[in-house]
Structure 1
Amino acid sequence: MVIKRLTLLALFFAGAFHSLCNGQSQNAPFKQDESGITVTLKNAPNGVNMIRLKPINAKIIRVTATPTNFFVEKPSLMAVTPNNSAIKHTVNYTDDKMIVLTDSVKVTVSTITGLVEFYDSKGNLLVKQSKFAHEPAFVNAMYDGESSYRVSQYFDSQADEAYYGLGQHQQGVVNYKGRHVDLIQNNTEVAVPFVVSSKNYGILWDNNAITTAGDIRPLEPLHALKLYNKNNEAGWLTVSYSLKQDPTRTVYEQAVSDIDLNWLSDVKRFPDSVKMADAIVTYEGAIEGDQTGLYQLQIKYGGYIKLWVDGKQLLDYWRQSWNPATALVDLNLQAGKSYHLKMQWIPSGSESYLGVNVLLPAPENVKNTFAFTSEAGSTIDYYLVYGQNADSIISGYRTITGKAVMLPKWAMGLWQSRERYKTQDEILAVVKEFRDRKIPLDNIVLDWSYWKQDQWGSQEFDPARFADPDGMIKQLHGQHINFMISVWPKFYEGTDAYNAFNKNNFLYKRNIANRQRDWIAKGYISTFYDAFNPDARKAFWELISKKLYTKGIDAWWLDATEPDILSNASVADRKLLMTPTYLGSSTKYFNAFPLQNAKGVYEGQRAVNPNNRVFILTRSAFGGLQRYGAATWSGDIASRWEDMKSQIGAGINFSLSGMPYWTMDIGGFAVEPRYENAKRQDLDEWRESMTRWYQFGAFVPLFRVHGQFPFREIYNVAPKGHPAYQSMLYYDKLRYRLMPYIYSLAGKIYHQDYTIMRGLIMDFAADKNVEGINDQYMFGPSLLINPVYKYEAHNRDVYLPKGNGWYDLYSGKYFKGGNTLKADAPYNRIPVFVKAGSIIPFGPEIQYTNEKPADPITLYVYTGANATFTLYEDEGSNYNYEKGDFSQIAITYNEGSHTLTIGDRNGKFNGMIGDRTFRIVTITSNAAKALNFDQKPNKTISYNGKNVSIKL
């Protein structure tokens, strides 16, 4: 086979393309211009006619495919990389293949099949498009009169490959190998179509529609399995209804083949003879399949749910009825064998939800694939990101979608919130209590309904409850407390704001036409604004700026940004409620609402106040959100122990999706009724749950307490002498002591595309044992966090990754890596281990982040390996860091020479302290030292910005 070579050198020179060859060969099977390298396929298989490759840099290749003879060119909402950027690359071609090489990757495209393959520069396979396709790449569709396609692409998966990211999901799964992952914005579920592979690559799927990733075969209804009733008759399950006041007596019984009370519109199918709020519902019978393998049940539930298979209990969960959750149950079944199934459901209220679907065992041609499919799109459009590790892959994601801008330093401190502070006096009283008790605090949060009852969307305080909001905020600022406020994209019909937005066609109208009322008092008719409309975004910012920002608001809580126009509406109904959007079909743009909503607030505030950092908290996210000064919390989760555990995996994969700022409601948002006025054992369990959650929450990127009654302030959880109070106060103070460590990592997020909450795969990729661990993670480079999520547990299994030694944070005791140990977890502590070869800077005790400079700093040096840490500082509240106003001090420890070096300070900023003190505490494997800030240091160094080295 004759190989022909066309060498093309594109330089970053005024965005122009320069060819250093004598011109493109007339026989070349491709065309190259500033948009990329385009191949027209010979036989247009699988619905693809043309494929275009565009090197973004040496490690990132954009791939687009079209079924037509042209590409639809529409600006991406996710990607901000300019398309005219050029990069050095070489194109080789044969009669049936085109090869594009950069310094880091090689991409081949078959000119016959269109299959794309990716390799690193050494020829190692990264990933290749699969020959198998469950459906064509393009399937014609039309939405709201707009022609479109359902688009799909399959990739071969290597046998030992693991997958991470894909946003935030709450089923406790970390590795998505072999999983069906629906990417659809929903309260507690966040859709981000970016996956990180353990094989040193990531894929950003640039599509705004509802998407499925992984094993994209559709979930089947329960009757895909052979069903038997409780009398062993084939064809259905038996469902029995009893009443809570008399659970032993069956009042109604029926046959069911499906369990599908999934949406608001389905609730009416509940039997008329039984009131849902009074019912206990029991499903019983057996299930059977004709294939041996893994059957994955997805169970959507609101209320109490218990599941037994062959007598073994697999679920015992609860979720508030108005925000159902989804549990994943893995069943390894043998072909032709029936398994007894019993499920008990106790609805919570008159509108509860239950649905059961199943993903059948994967056929051989699916098992080793990973795919994306989206409901709508003009083209297939994705980016292959190569990296030596997860950090460099995430850096590539941010190259495409934008830098993660810095949040204000105070955001790293404690936030206190509840649903909800009802008056100005309540807010001021809570802050006073924190300050009087010397409980460190930086932020107080005002949740929804601070307006008059019928004025949602007015963005105006109810003067009966907030007589002087300007004065309140000024008083809070005087106590060094920042103020965050909840702002929904929601408007009640008839308000002045509604009328102004309606006049300019800025609103979604369907909910108004439906006369659908919300849940407030008698119910009010409302809708959301169209965040895809740039003029509507501008108007929304101008409204909240005029009504709120001018009062001194410090941060924005953008709630219900899925958008949740009508809770628990079906997906089809949700699309109707946001039709049409300014950009086009709601089906085509469904997942991108939270990104556009945050964009308007971020750009609006930076335009009117270019100094103060924008800070946004949003309930949903999409690719690129990190560039808008936004963090995401995990939604309206419940307060059960299983919900606490599910947050660990949710935070790990959200962070592996490229967005570094994640948080949760410490304590869970909604509580079981038994906790509302808890007594005796229920009160004990509530306090222990809050304590364990608080211990966990102190080690996530943002430290935030929120939830419904009972109140979540430390002193409202337990009295001062109680172990719960003492433990929560300890971890609050420890968080503030760790501020030099945490804020340095925040600086690293911006300057080096770092990630704070780190799945173990990020730092220990060579250790295959960590790939599926869903209840441990690293907090920065040094701290291994192991939350306790079981009631009355006083120890837990902890895996210490191999290749490292580990120290117990509290005692300094040394442990070898590569082992699972049963770590002590007394009521007042969770197991935290420090990686050998770590330097952790601790600051002085403070009550708020900017109380005083971090001086002296105590450096805890954990020996056993070489260590580095870079202390980062800047002004903390403005964007001067973008102009170079920051300082960095590199601190290193050499294990061979036992030498600690504090390097020259690089950079400067206003307010920087010139001279400072470092106290050095050395911990070795044979000389444990407890975490005690009053102990005498091994050494004390007076530092004036110049390099200094000492022997330890």
Structure 2
Amino acid sequence: MKFLKQIYLLVALVSTLVATKMSAQSFEPTKQGLQFSAQDLDIKIEFYSNNIVRVYKTPKGVSYDKKSLSVVKSPEKTVVNFEQKGNNKLLKSSSIQVEVNPVTGGISFYDASGKLLLKDKDYGTQFSAIDDGGTPSFKVREGFLLDKNEAVYGVGQIMDNKFNRRNSSHHMQNENMSTYSPYFMSVKGYGVFWDNNSISDYNDNPQELSFSGIGHCADYYFMYGKNADGVIAQVRDLTGKAPMLPLWAYGFFQSKERYHTQDESLDVLKKYRKLQVPIDVIIQDWRYWPEYQKSDSLWNSQSFDKERFPDPKKWVNEIHKLNAKLLIVTWPGFGPKTDQRKEFDSKNMIINFDSWPPKSGARPYDVFNPEALNIYWRYLNKGIFSYIGNDGWWLDSTEPDHINVKESDFLLPTHLGTYRSVKNGFSLMHNKGIATNQRLTSTDKRVVILTRSGFLGQQLYGSNTWSGDVQSTWEMLEKQIPAALNYTLMGIPNWNSDIGGFFAGRWKKDGGNMSPEFQELYVRWMQFGAFTPMMRSHGTDLPREIWNFGDRGTWCFDAQEKIINLRYKLLPYIYSTSWEVSNYNGTFMRPLVMDFAADTKTHEIGNEYLFGRSFLVAPVTKYKAKIWPVYLPQGSDWYNFWTNEYYKGGQTVTTDTPVDILPLYVKSGSIVPFGPKVQYATEKKWDNLEIRVYPGANGEFLLYEDENDNYNYEKGVYSTIKFKWNDLEKTLTIEDRKGNFSGMIKSRKFRIILVKPNQTIADNSTEITKSVFYNGKQTHVKL
């Protein structure tokens, strides 16, 4: 018996030594990670920073040099410590730990304290060989293990009225109204970006969460941020920060399908000015180009019909004289008789499937070809930007539209492979080409792009994605909210939708613009739109300009005017939030889970959100709703914006919602600046701002100002003023102003209001607690 025990011990010792030797031989250290082979895979793990780890896998012996369309970050110098953990290897930065199993290929991610965050499954990566349009490739699948009740978000803008993306499956193919990226964020404070631009699939079930698509590698980034803001900061570090948009881009936009002549759009602006309803932007939709009456062979020629737009330079000058801006549409597809199409065809830079409009012969250019991006801009700049001096772009059909679909279309070649292997990156590259070329052409105007699709990384290009050609229904309004919140949780902060919904023909039989239900739907949608990054009215079938709903004094006109005026009063708050988004990786539309993750009820709430750090918004999405339930998260107290009624957090309250009232609450400790009443964003200086302090907690606010529309802010040409509220001492400190810029207000007045719980502040109130003259030096205001 003793002899047998000695044999067992000897065998165990030999096995341990062999395993240790095999383990040591399996791993090859690299500068900031390691590489090894397991399960017929070559696997490379590399720290891009203390918080970001890249995992890269290919079939064993099959090398592939991946060029990302989204990732702009190079690995930064990171101290990585290596330890042995049994037969596994442990890699540690200051923020995360990565455990690697050399046999199964499994990878586990932990925080610095050793708390498990995520598992890349043992045997969870699969490569199935396929023929991809004549090129050997793979169907790639990557599986992860999550906690059973772990909430995740992201994946894209999905119109299913769901917020938490667990236990759902999605075919990720970017189309009109469906905008996907293979990314998810966990409530545990990490995110995963599976860097693949192909038509893909997301599937989550109790066994695993997986991505699958076409490619030559499995390539993903694990990002740890501790909380949602931290994850978004890592996303922006990896794929690009969001630049500042100009101040005017946060005003009101008006468009329709479509203004037929230059005089028609000018008349619209003139009428807004005559009515003294604020507006900043008019948008010109399609078919301003020649010969559209005969055919669409000149579709998107990026030139102007001489009869309907006889003097486009004068047209834009007149728009500017009316203190407004112009966005003009351009498409990725070109009709067969356009000069652009002829050049693209001659250089094999067209993706040969039919695009919009039907029977036109229009086809999209190859956005994946860098030379094609430059050619596109050459025509766009010559025909429009440098010719007429427009202020921004409406990039329609950036999925792009695909009609008369054939399966073989998806195997068509592009510069980077088959169309199906890169399709979801189309919008990203189209936006990139225009944004980067405009910046090379001029730095006097910030890039402003309205686009119908998106992909992770597009935030780098001044893009604002809208939700597509949605139906004008209450159900669709309701679906906009969680779709927007999941989209912005991908780190892409700018989003909007057609106020009132695009297709409104269903309402014609009920009186069109005079239909009481359509009017109410439009007003409720506009209230929602006022608390999105872009407030834009647009649609077809029924005109959307404010006077089409009645005259001033009628409820529908007055309700619209009220919310538009509120949007403009909040411009100092919104523009300062834009600086937080750009400089500090902030988010405009903040799901409650971002700020109140400890309150587990917020994990499933996708119909409310914070706009900036202070305003809780709960849009009304039902007809004739006179009251509306609003959940106020635990962790703060809350003020009803309209009445100043004061509530403790952690409860659902019933809010009175007459048609002109949007359920709106302000977080205690908030400091909110209100600007002057204006007709356009830059009409008046902010030299007499109202500053409202909502007591109940300490708080601070950073007021940001700059030259409003150029890139000088990137050179430090801006100013900030920090306000700090000490709730115990009831003291507001206005700190020293930092920075300066041309035209900066050096001396100004702040009208301070200490909001009193349950006491309403009347409009244009004279009940100012204190008026403070401020010359840039720190001052304390005792309230």
The TM tier, using the shorter chain, reads over 0.9
Q: Distance in 2 between matches of 1:804 and 1:510?
A: 54
In the TM superposition, residue 71 of structure 1 has moved relative to its aligned partner by: 3.8
Q: Distance in 1 between matches of 2:578 and 2:270?
A: 29
Q: Distance in 2 between matches of 1:725 and 1:826?
A: 14
Match of 2:738 in 1: 906
- TM-score with structure 2 setting the length: 0.94
| Residue range with higher mean Cα deviation, 852-861 or 480-489 | 852-861
Q: Distance in 2 between matches of 1:467 and 1:903?
A: 54
In the TM superposition, residue 677 of structure 1 has moved relative to its aligned partner by: 5.9
Q: Distance in 1 between matches of 2:304 and 2:723?
A: 49
Match of 1:57 in 2: 49
Provide Cα deviations, 1:820-878, integer angstroms capped at 9, x if missing partner. Answer: 12211001111101111111110111111111221211111100011111111111111
Q: Distance in 2 between matches of 1:95 and 1:919?
A: 66
SS in 1 for 2:98: strand
Match of 1:546 in 2: 382
> What one-letter code is carried by the residue in structure 2 that aligns with 1:865?
A
> What one-letter code is carried by the residue in structure 2 that aligns with 1:591?
N
> What one-letter code is carried by the residue in structure 1 that aligns with 2:68?
S
SS in 2 for 1:771: helix
Q: Distance in 1 between matches of 2:93 and 2:192?
A: 18
**Does residue 526 of structure 1 match 2:362?**
yes
SS in 2 for 1:754: coil
Provide Cα deviations, 1:72-110, integer angstroms capped at 9, x if missing partner. Answer: 112100101114x32111112356211110000000110
Q: Distance in 2 between matches of 1:82 and 1:474?
A: 44
SS in 2 for 1:484: strand
**Does residue 122 of structure 1 match 2:119?**
no
Match of 1:939 in 2: 770
Of the three residues 564, 575, 584, the one matched with 2:410 is: 575
Distance of aligned partners of 1:777 and 1:931 in 2 relative to their CA distance in 1, 3 Å threshold: farther
Of the three residues 82, 100, 103, the one matched with 2:94 is: 103
> What one-letter code is carried by the residue in structure 1 that aligns with 2:401?
D
SS in 2 for 1:505: coil
Match of 2:345 in 1: 502
Determine if contact 2:450/2:464 at 8 Å carries over to the other structure.
yes
SS in 2 for 1:548: helix
Q: Distance in 1 between matches of 2:356 and 2:512?
A: 40
Of the three residues 241, 244, 265, the one matched with 1:406 is: 244
> What one-letter code is carried by the residue in structure 1 that aligns with 2:59?
P
Q: Distance in 2 between matches of 1:908 and 1:849?
A: 20
Determine if contact 1:809/1:931 at 8 Å carries over to the other structure.
no
> What one-letter code is carried by the residue in structure 1 that aligns with 2:304?
F
Match of 2:18 in 1: none
SS in 1 for 2:48: strand
Match of 1:143 in 2: 132
**Does residue 598 of structure 1 match 2:431?**
yes
Q: Distance in 1 between matches of 2:493 and 2:427?
A: 16
Q: Distance in 1 between matches of 2:628 and 2:581?
A: 31
Q: Distance in 2 between matches of 1:904 and 1:517?
A: 55
Provide Cα deviations, 1:464-508, integer angstroms capped at 9, x if missing partner. Answer: 111111101000001111000010011111232221221222212
Q: Distance in 2 between matches of 1:883 and 1:669?
A: 40
> What one-letter code is carried by the residue in structure 2 that aligns with 1:560?
S
**Does residue 658 of structure 1 match 2:491?**
yes
Of the three residues 30, 41, 44, the one matched with 1:33 is: 30
**Identical-residue share of aligned pairs (%):** 39
Match of 1:344 in 2: none
Determine if contact 1:181/1:213 at 8 Å carries over to the other structure.
yes
Q: Distance in 2 between matches of 1:828 and 1:669?
A: 22
Match of 2:231 in 1: 393
Provide Cα deviations, 1:618-652, integer angstroms capped at 9, x if missing partner. Answer: 10001110111111000000100001111111111
Determine if contact 1:54/1:61 at 8 Å carries over to the other structure.
yes
Match of 1:352 in 2: none
- TM-score with structure 1 setting the length: 0.78
**Does residue 180 of structure 1 match 2:179?**
no
Provide Cα deviations, 1:100-129, integer angstroms capped at 9, x if missing partner. Answer: 100000001101111000000011111112
**Does residue 561 of structure 1 match 2:398?**
yes
> What one-letter code is carried by the residue in structure 1 that aligns with 2:778?
N
SS in 2 for 1:127: strand
Match of 2:273 in 1: 435
Determine if contact 1:809/1:930 at 8 Å carries over to the other structure.
no
Match of 2:5 in 1: none
**Does residue 930 of structure 1 match 2:761?**
yes
> What one-letter code is carried by the residue in structure 2 that aligns with 1:188?
M
SS in 1 for 2:232: helix
In the TM superposition, residue 63 of structure 1 has moved relative to its aligned partner by: 0.8
**Root-mean-square deviation over aligned CA pairs:** 1.9
Determine if contact 2:514/2:549 at 8 Å carries over to the other structure.
no
In the TM superposition, residue 661 of structure 1 has moved relative to its aligned partner by: 0.5
> What one-letter code is carried by the residue in structure 2 that aligns with 1:602?
A
Which residues in structure 2 correspond to 1:765-914 (within 5 Å)?
765-914=597-746
SS in 2 for 1:699: coil
Determine if contact 2:552/2:558 at 8 Å carries over to the other structure.
yes
Q: Distance in 2 between matches of 1:95 and 1:801?
A: 45
Distance of aligned partners of 1:99 and 1:874 in 2 relative to their CA distance in 1, 3 Å threshold: same
Provide Cα deviations, 1:584-606, integer angstroms capped at 9, x if missing partner. Answer: 12222111110110111011111
In the TM superposition, residue 32 of structure 1 has moved relative to its aligned partner by: 3.2
Of the three residues 370, 375, 390, the one matched with 2:209 is: 370
> What one-letter code is carried by the residue in structure 1 that aligns with 2:288?
Y
Which residues in structure 2 correspond to 1:465-484 (within 5 Å)?
465-484=308-327
Match of 1:225 in 2: none
Which residues in structure 2 correspond to 1:9-48 (within 5 Å)?
27=24, 29-34=26-31, 36-41=32-37, 44-45=38-39, 48=40
Determine if contact 1:50/1:66 at 8 Å carries over to the other structure.
yes
Structure with bigger helix share is 2
SS in 1 for 2:417: coil
Q: Distance in 1 between matches of 2:23 and 2:508?
A: 77
SS in 2 for 1:399: helix
Gaps of 5+ in 2: 1-11, 14-21
Provide Cα deviations, 1:147-195, integer angstroms capped at 9, x if missing partner. Answer: 1111112111112210111121111111001111222101001012221
Structure 1 residue ranges (4+ consecutive) displaced by more than 3 angstroms after TM superposition = 25-29, 516-519
Of the three residues 541, 554, 557, the one matched with 1:722 is: 554
Which residues in structure 2 correspond to 1:695-710 (within 5 Å)?
695-710=527-542
> What one-letter code is carried by the residue in structure 2 that aligns with 1:401?
T
Q: Distance in 2 between matches of 1:160 and 1:951?
A: 48
Q: Distance in 1 between matches of 2:409 and 2:616?
A: 41
**Does residue 152 of structure 1 match 2:148?**
no
**Does residue 679 of structure 1 match 2:676?**
no
Distance of aligned partners of 1:907 and 1:935 in 2 relative to their CA distance in 1, 3 Å threshold: same
Q: Distance in 2 between matches of 1:766 and 1:509?
A: 51
Q: Distance in 2 between matches of 1:195 and 1:888?
A: 34
The number of aligned residues is 758
Distance of aligned partners of 1:40 and 1:824 in 2 relative to their CA distance in 1, 3 Å threshold: same
SS in 1 for 2:515: helix
> What one-letter code is carried by the residue in structure 2 that aligns with 1:438?
Q
Provide Cα deviations, 1:854-911, integer angstroms capped at 9, x if missing partner. Answer: 1211111100011111111111111111111111111110111111111111111121
In the TM superposition, residue 696 of structure 1 has moved relative to its aligned partner by: 1.0
Match of 1:243 in 2: none
Match of 1:750 in 2: 582
Which residues in structure 2 correspond to 1:200-215 (within 5 Å)?
200-215=189-204
Determine if contact 1:168/1:651 at 8 Å carries over to the other structure.
yes
Of the three residues 736, 739, 744, the one matched with 2:568 is: 736
Q: Distance in 1 between matches of 2:677 and 2:374?
A: 42
Q: Distance in 2 between matches of 1:796 and 1:753?
A: 32
